[in-house]
Amino acid sequence: MKLKLVSFAICPFVQRSVILLREKQIDHEIDYIDLNDPPEWFLKLSPTGKVPLLLVDGATLFESSVILAFLDESFPPGFQPADTLRRAQHRSWIEFGSTLLMAQHAMATASDEDTFLEKKYLLEEDIARLSEPLNEGLFANLDEFSLVDAAIAPLFMRIQHLAELNQQADVKMPDPVRSWSQRLLQRPAVQQSVVTDFAHRYKAFLVSKNSWLCVGDASDN
Ligand SMILES: N[C@@H](CCC(=O)N[C@@H](CS)C(=O)NCC(=O)O)C(=O)O
């Protein structure tokens, strides 16, 4: 199979696929596009206008969770539970991972302090909901990589980058969530899943969105 991933360099949804491709050591190409000026061929292929796309021998897949499932089911080893209920539970939490990514984006791009604090509170509330499945051992078990790991690691990476950029963005996490985050951020496949100048590009993106965290007094803290 010839695989080409269509990417925007700082997109967390694309990063999910890159993590899985690297964990499984699957040969692939990455084609970076500029979402501010998307090429015509991309708009023709993508019904949603969003990345990622995975081009598989000329066929087009879209939606990151679908791409994860396809890659997992096509290339061993499998990272999903065999039990169908458990597998569906993993998929439910992957969807929730998308909600978390959007909440993190809303916090990161808030353009004033009040909005930032409100979005940060909402993100922390959502993150706290991960405690229950973690305590039940539904996923994030040591030495047992899963698609939930691939789906959530981009969130933890952005949370870490943002806290380094501005300590006011240091998000509260329950202990089991923080230790899961630390474990995931140490995995080579996660560390190597973004472009080498990711931190610089992510900051430039936030500045372009007038992020309160990156302007004036807020970023001096
Ligand atoms: N539900 C989609 C979300 C993908 C998404 O939001 N991608 C963003 C970039 S990070 C995008 O392409 N945005 C372009 C747009 O909304 O026009 C998925 O999971 O693949």
Question: Which residue range forms the structural domain that includes residue 171?
Answer: 84-220
Same domain? 155 vs 204 = yes
CA distances from 86 to 82, 89, 93, 208 (A): 8, 5, 11, 41
Q: How confident is the model at residue 215 (pLDDT cuts 50, 70, 90)?
A: confident
Report pLDDT for 120. 98
Share of the chain above pLDDT 70, in %: 97
Rg (CA), the chain: 17
Report pLDDT for 142. 75
Q: Which of 17, 19, 50, 109 to mutate to test the pocket of ligand 1 (most atoms within 8 A of CB)?
A: 50
Same domain? 69 vs 125 = no
Q: How confident is the model at residue 24 (pLDDT cuts 50, 70, 90)?
A: very high
pLDDT at 38 over 60: yes
Do the domain assignments include residue 79? no
Closest-CA residue, ligand 1 atom 19, reads 64
Same domain? 64 vs 113 = no
Task: Give residue-wise pLDDT tens across range 110-151.
Answer: 999 999 999 999 999 999 999 999 999 999 987 799 999 999
Same domain? 62 vs 114 = no
Report pLDDT for 220. 55
Do the domain assignments include residue 179? yes
The answer to whether the CB of 64 is under 6 A from ligand 1 is yes
pTM over 0.95: yes
Q: How confident is the model at residue 169 (pLDDT cuts 50, 70, 90)?
A: very high
CATH number assigned to the domain comprising residue 59: 3.40.30.10
- Give the whole-angstrom CA distance, residue 55 versus residue 5: 6
Q: Which atom of ligand 1 sits closest to the CA of residue 50?
A: 12
Share of the chain above pLDDT 90, in %: 95
Report pLDDT for 143. 76
| Last residue within a domain, chosen from 55, 74, 93 | 74
- Give the whole-angstrom CA distance, residue 50 versus residue 61: 11
**31 membership: H or E segment, kind and range:** strand 29-32
What is the distance in A from the centroid of ligand 1 to the CA of 169?
23
pLDDT at 216 over 70: no
* List 5, 9, 10, 11, catalytic entry: 11
Number of independent structural domains in the chain: 2
Q: How confident is the model at residue 195 (pLDDT cuts 50, 70, 90)?
A: very high
The answer to whether the CB of 42 is under 6 A from ligand 1 is no
Tell me whether residue 214 is one of the annotated catalytic residues: no
Same domain? 197 vs 121 = yes
Q: How confident is the prediction for the chain on average, in pLDDT? A: 96
What is the distance in A from the centroid of ligand 1 to the CA of 95?
13
Q: How confident is the model at residue 218 (pLDDT cuts 50, 70, 90)?
A: low
Nearest Cα neighbor of 30 from 6, 59, 64, 60 is 6
